[in-house]
Amino acid sequence: MHRIHRWTPKSSIRIASLILLLALSVTLSAQGLVVDRGLPIGNQRAGVRLGWTKDKTEFLGDDFHVGASGETWLIDKIRVWAVVPGSGHSENMGDLFSTISLYGGLASDPITDDKARDADCDCHGLVALKSATLPQGKSDSGNKDISISPVNTRSEALREVRGVGGSLWQIDFQNLQWSVPGGVGIEFGVRGEAREASSKNSGPFWFSYGSAIRDSHRLKVFDRRRLPKAFFDGGKQMGDATIGINVQVWARRRPGTP
């Protein structure tokens, strides 16, 4: 005897839930590490701390590429590293910086003329992708989308990370949902807002961790409006034109693109 299965509202709910789970699994499985400029593990070329110490309202930025021309990508997560100054300073990030922010946008040439840059629209600057307030006495952002953790640099694998004048911290910016075109330069920068109410050209300054990467390229200086104002010549300043900000990017290609 064949059993007759009766259709019920619960059946519809179960099927809808199954379809949703399948869709989520496809989406998540498509996410991957698309830019891997991580710490120089086992690299014989030591890393450096990168910061702009002429004006702490300004910061250094770098760029990366994902995918190919004609594609659209959705960036989910960006990982960077920061160096918190050592001697004479607290090693709690929150004691030195009140906020931390990740900025991003499409790569563009610096506007070197001050008057032209002042007249330019803020819309041409990098936009804030994630930001969090740092409580004093701690290095925890309190924001589930921004994870800050210390890096143990005593291991032999990270021997080249030592000696950068402070403690090293890994910062993960998650759930970005940042849509970018493939095959073009994508600029990014991280900046900590100094807690001390001192002059603009005295510390503490924000330092990103950097090391030699494959290609010769140039970092940029961004002003207080997050507009590119000048190139930062790593070759001249540090004797190595391949120096860049270490970064890892997780992303997935948007459906419907080649």
- Please check whether residue 83 lies inside any domain of the structure: yes
Q: By CB neighbour count within 10 A (0-12 exposed, 13-18 middle, 19+ buried), where does 172 fall? A: middle
Give the count of domains, the chain.
1
Domain residues for the domain of 236 are: 33-253
The C-alpha angle 50, 54, 58, rounded to 5 degrees, equals 70
Q: How far apart are CA 24 and CA 192, in angstroms?
A: 34
Residue 204, preceding peptide bond in cis (omega within 30° of 0): yes
Q: State how far the Cα of 100 lies from the Cα of 134, in Å rounded to an integer.
A: 7
Q: CA 251, 253, 255, 257: dihedral to nearest 10 degrees?
A: 150
- 60, part of any domain: yes
| 12 secondary structure, DSSP code | H
Rg (CA), the chain: 22
Residue 133 lies in a domain: yes
Question: To the nearest 5 percent, what fractions of the chain are helix, strand and coil?
Answer: 15, 40, 45
Looking at residue 18, its pLDDT comes to 43
107 is a domain residue: yes
pLDDT at position 152 is: 77
Cβ atoms of 53 and 95 within 8 Å: the answer is no
Q: Each residue's pLDDT tens digit in the chain (258 positions)?
A: 545 445 455 444 454 444 444 444 444 446 799 999 998 776 555 678 888 878 888 899 999 999 999 999 999 999 999 988 765 556 678 888 899 999 999 999 998 888 888 877 777 789 999 999 998 888 888 889 999 988 876 665 555 555 566 788 899 999 999 999 999 999 999 999 888 755 565 667 889 998 888 776 789 999 989 999 999 876 566 667 788 999 999 999 987 665
Q: What is the pLDDT of residue 213?
A: 81
Q: Is residue 17 part of a domain?
A: no
For residue 12, being part of any structural domain is answered with no
Q: Given its phi and psi angles, is residue 42 left (phi above 0), alpha (psi -120 to 50 degrees) or beta? A: left
In a domain, residue 7? The reply is no
Instruction: Identify whether 227 is part of a domain.
Output: yes
pLDDT recorded at residue 112: 84
